[in-house]
Amino acid sequence: MFTGIIAALGSVETLAPKGGDILLAVAMPTLDLGDVILGDSIAINGVCLTVVNIDGDKLSFDVSKETLERSSLGTLTTGSDVNLEKALAVGDRLGGHFVSGHVDGMGECIERRVSARSVQFRFSVPDNISRYIAEKGSICIDGVSLTVNQAQDNWFEVNIIPHTMQETIIQHYRIGSRVNLEVDLIARYLERLLPEQQTTGLTLETLQKNGFAK
């Protein structure tokens, strides 16, 4: 489990093919690795990966064919910057929202514009997860916990403050950039738990009927 608060940036050192998968090695010179051991989970651009080798400040991860196909990790190249977050420890501050590190789909940057000292981004969103994204709700983009400013059927917008721009790979986003998206866990599981939603989808009427909205 993660919070969506990026602890540091890392850099891809190698991507070695391994039987259809890849062995991903990432240099993490500014991340505190003092308590990291083999088998620990670390989120790389919002994808939960397991540490399989430790070499100084370089950690390696097995990335499956499934993960390569369902996330933007398949587009990484040597030298790519990546967002890093260690797994949430009991007693840590929860500054963002609960993030599992399981990517629901990929979005694409379709607009970038300056707004005072911030930058506003608009992302397209796959049809199968658009219903889980709500205005002023939470969204995780490449591992970053963000608040949705606006949301429509096939897109949503977020506002990025200067600190977040400087400390994450969002600074590199341009029109056409592909990003990993993880929707809010509550929305995803709420729909699953309501039997009639298997065919009709989640609606305000159903939420009201089941006591989740007024």
**Whether 2 contacts 48, CB under 8 Å:** yes
Provide the pLDDT for residue 139: 96
Q: Write out the E strands in 64-104.
A: 81-86
Q: Which two tokens stand for residue 136?
A: 């002023």
Distance CA 54, CA 157 (A): 38
Distance CA 152, CA 20 (A): 37
Residue 71: exposed, middle, or buried by beta-carbon count in 10 A (0-12, 13-18, 19+)?
buried
Distance CA 143, CA 15 (A): 20
Q: What are phi and psi of 71, to 5 degrees?
A: -140, 175
Q: What are phi and psi of 49, to 5 degrees?
A: -125, 155
**Whether 3 contacts 92, CB under 8 Å:** yes
Q: Domains in the chain, start-ordered, CATH in brackets?
A: 8-86 (2.40.30.20), 105-197 (2.40.30.20)
List per-residue pLDDT tens for the chain, 214 residues long: 899 999 999 999 999 998 989 999 999 999 999 999 999 999 999 999 999 999 999 999 999 999 999 999 999 999 999 999 999 987 777 788 889 999 999 999 999 999 999 999 999 999 999 999 999 999 999 999 999 999 998 999 999 999 999 999 999 999 999 999 999 888 777 777 776 555 555 566 766 776 666 6
